[in-house]
A and B are shown apart, each in its own frame.
Chain A
């Protein structure tokens, strides 16, 4: 069967690609569009390393088919920084050393950005529940939570 021809918007740019039905959005992002910031951890929706937003909604890109996204808006980790200027979340992750191996970091950043867009001043509990689908096997989470709290405070000040 012929491949699907899909047109979508990724990080504000119009893209088109061909994909097989069984290819996930994560496969398309990494292997076809060469946006390798989104990581494949579990490929079953448990770890959140492949987090992106789809029409503004946080999802695991491993649980979306590439052929599903025609006409839709996708935001990935590559869309976070503005040129050389890091997003406040990225900056505070660095300042707090909220990463070690770094595989989970893109997913945490995309998920945290999605949280702060909805809740600019989340409690620690809200942050922990929102990020429950992002697994980190290195840091033990506390530094990540602190980084999100500080980034949120900085963003509220503008």
Chain B
């Protein structure tokens, strides 16, 4: 098994594009090493992208934020201004695993592991994040909701890697939140996850929203109907009921040991509603209400 740790994007892309056997990108390794250990994957080549500066930095970019694909959850948590701008994205990333896992786990790895239950992905999709990819034909941008096609299936072509994510500039009175349901308090995989990002006007009416649901379909969903259900409202009871119904209607979950179809559909509606309430409170300037854990 060959291991390479190039310090340039072009170096990483050339290695991956030229690979003859199975090649894997290593970011934090919290999924890859477990899969190698369990003999789920046995790559011929591992390309560690952590020595590439573009994957390891958080920078402001034209009023938005660019987050390197290999920045760890612990680093995001310590970034006060990013956390203030995008609390939902940071709280979602921080729900992945333990303190130890946070020391290694990355947004790029969480997305590219290709799990529909990945915690950071609904938050990124709700945020309108765009993934910047580098490949043999150059770089391209892809909305996060278009990166994952299904379980373990990505829209990336041979030799392409996710370099960073761009969170767009946002108007005043905007915020986001992410909630997940797990049956314990920590260290578990989402049974359902819901991310909501929204903007309100001076009167408190929602002018824009994005809603994303995780672990209720083969890929993380961007639910336009759920966003439409609350835009133009002040998230009154009727709007919350519409949001709940739209979120439920979008679900196409599986039955498994962690949750039944009926349970996941129910919880998706509840979490979408609660995440919207938290995002709205934050957009109004409130800080009392915390997203993240729901149990």
Contact = CB atoms under 8 A, between A and B. Distances in A.
Contacts of A48: 98, 100
B71 interface: no
A44 B37 contact: yes
B46 interface: yes
Given A44-B34, A63-B30, A132-B187, A1 B2 contact: yes
A42 B61 CA distance: 41
A44 B187 CA distance: 12
Given A1-B2, A133-B187, A63 B34 contact: yes
Contacts of A133: 97-101, 186-187
Interface string A32-67: 000000000001111010010010011110111101
Contacts of A44: 34, 37-38
Contact of B33 (A62, A114, A115, A134): A62
B97 to A, nearest CB: 7
A151 interface: no
Interface string A108-137: 000100110000000000000111111000
20 contacts: A45-B98, A45-B101, A46-B187, A48-B98, A48-B100, A57-B72, A57-B74, A59-B103, A60-B101, A62-B33, A63-B34, A65-B3, A65-B46, A68-B48, A68-B50, A114-B99, A129-B186, A132-B98, A132-B99, A133-B186
Given A57-B103, A130-B99, 16 more contacts: A4-B3, A22-B36, A43-B37, A48-B100, A57-B74, A59-B100, A59-B104, A60-B100, A60-B101, A63-B33, A68-B50, A111-B99, A115-B99, A129-B99, A132-B185, A133-B101
Interface of B: 1-3, 5, 26, 28-30, 33-34, 36-38, 46, 48, 50, 72, 74, 97-101, 103-104, 185-187
